[in-house]
Amino acid sequence: MQEYFDELTEYATSLLTGDEVLTTSFSAEDSDFVRFNQAAVRQAGRVVQKRMEISLIRGQRHASVGMTLSGGLELDRAHVRKQTISLRELLPQLPEDPYLLYSTDVRSSETHGENSLPEASDATSAILSSSRGADLVGLYAGGGIHRGFGNSLGQRNWFSSYSFNLDWSLYHRQDKAVKLNQSGFRWNAAKFDEKLAGGKEQLAVLSKEARILKPGRYRVFLSPAAVWEIMGTLSWGGFGLKDHRTKQTSLLQMIEGAARLDESVNISENTAEGVAPNFQGAGFIRPERVPLIERGCFQSCLASPRSAKEYDVQTNGASASESPQSLDIEEGDVPSSEVLSRLETGLYINNLHYLNYSDRPNCRMTGMTRFATFWVENGNISAPLNVMRFDETLYRLFGTNLIGLTTEREFMLDPTTYGSRSTFSARMPGALIEDFALTL
């Protein structure tokens, strides 16, 4: 696959005339998908697809086009030639782009991840064997994800990663279910069995009559999945250079020195341990780690090439959205085995959804609890809770009201498969928080 991409890039380069510069971006996957319902396979299939984007540049003018590749070299060459000619005809009609920035330092690289995944049939058999008798519904997606970059200056970058994501639930009735996830680079049957057993215990509690809580402030535990929902909302304009310079960032109070998080909070873009490539579409190499928040204080922005050009700073290889793709929160000092005893009395929240900002400048978010949320009393889960709405600021959640983060973290992959499997990932601890505001 890498050789095929290189051949097409070399061919596209041979079509250039005068002072034209060309860049190519390649994305591909060879993935297995298995859909489960009632602990039985309902749909299974394999997807192999390849796409390439060509950008033609002359001075400060540029145009791009994306194409699906057939895998037949002659056919794809003809397609590349046709699209390159179309871009050349288009360029004179376009205005100059003052913020165009692409890598002119040739920094080639190759990253070939180890493929330690089982055959999809073996993973499926293990899932079915362990979940027999349960109403398990979910999707297994696993296989290789490949990315490439090339340009007419001679730079070539390649990245391959092999991972799986099992996004699943144990269903009780109506809106009552326990949602779980298992992601990684190797299938771990023992870990699945452990998660399944824990999910069944929580499912048994869901059969009890739900406890009704009044709006108020409660001590809560947010699971790693719930923490990721909050961090996903924060990533929407929280860390980007352009958002900071235009003062549209939700972390405005932090960068102006009016607020901070707890000293135990350290957040970074951890490309080295994610599944996203270590380069981006303009050819810039991403650092292995970009510190975003250290010891509760803002450290640095994610700077895309366009923002870097506009504000005259160095890019750190961020994507055009300037959002983290491999988000990492360092572990804390609360053992997961002690979460319930330290929570004592309050809410155990497995999942959140429908999050949005209710007051963006103050980093205030609102959202709903989802799936299995429980009332804990004297360190024991005692009853399920109906869906409730929360409204909180990040500075209270992970600042003044943070009791602690767990020592164990969960590695999670974004389950999105629209068009192709997502390369967004996160390593998140759980969080114990006091005075968590429930509003409805």
CA distance 44 to 33: 6
Asked if residues 286 and 111 have their Cβ atoms less than 8 Å apart, the reply is no
Checking phi first, is residue 436 left (phi over 0); if not, alpha (psi -120 to 50) or beta? Answer: beta
CA distance 328 to 292: 10
Checking phi first, is residue 181 left (phi over 0); if not, alpha (psi -120 to 50) or beta? Answer: beta
For the chain, the 3-state helix, strand and coil shares in percent, each to the nearest 5, are 25, 40, 35
**Strands annotated E in 213-252:** 216-222
What are the structure tokens assigned to 78, written together? 């003809």
pLDDT for the residue numbered 175: 78
pLDDT for the residue numbered 173: 83
What are the structure tokens assigned to 354, written together? 């429908």
Q: What is the pTM of this model?
A: 0.94
Helix (H/G/I), strand (E/B), else coil: 184: strand
What are the structure tokens assigned to 159, written together? 């990245």
What are the beta bridge partners of residue 405? 431
Per-domain boundaries in the chain? 2-206, 216-438
Asked if residues 316 and 280 have their Cβ atoms less than 8 Å apart, the reply is no
Q: Look at residues 243, 181, 237, 213 and name the one whose alpha carbon lies nearest to residue 357.
A: 237
DSSP 331-388: --SB-GGGHHHHH-SEEEEEEEEEEEEEEGGGTEEEEEEEEEEEEEETTEEEEEB---
Q: Look at residues 277, 407, 390, 250 and name the one whose alpha carbon lies nearest to residue 342.
A: 407
pLDDT for the residue numbered 176: 85
Q: Look at residues 137, 138, 140, 160 and name the one whose alpha carbon lies nearest to residue 148.
A: 160
- CA angle (336 as vertex; 332, 342 as ends), nearest 5: 85
What are the structure tokens assigned to 290, written together? 């970009």
pLDDT digits (tens, 9 = 90+) for 353-364: 999 999 999 999
Q: Kindly state the greatest CA–CA separation across the chain.
A: 76
CA distance 399 to 363: 12
CA distance 219 to 435: 5
What are the beta bridge partners of residue 149? 25, 157
Distance between start and end Cα atoms, the chain: 53
Query: What is the Cβ-side half-sphere exposure of residue 94, based on CA atoms within 13 angstroms?
Result: 18
What are the structure tokens assigned to 406, written together? 């767990």
Asked if residues 33 and 415 have their Cβ atoms less than 8 Å apart, the reply is no
The dihedral sign for the CA sequence 179, 181, 187, 192: negative
Does domain 2-206 bear CATH number 3.40.50.2020?
no
Asked if residues 347 and 368 have their Cβ atoms less than 8 Å apart, the reply is no
pLDDT digits (tens, 9 = 90+) for 124-174: 999 999 999 999 999 999 999 999 999 999 999 999 999 999 999 999 888
Asked if residues 206 and 328 have their Cβ atoms less than 8 Å apart, the reply is no
**Strands annotated E in 108-235:** 109-112, 136-151, 156-173, 176-184, 216-222
Question: Which residues does the chain have with pLDDT short of 70?
Answer: none
Asked if residues 153 and 20 have their Cβ atoms less than 8 Å apart, the reply is no
What are the structure tokens assigned to 118, written together? 């089982």
Identity of residue 127: I
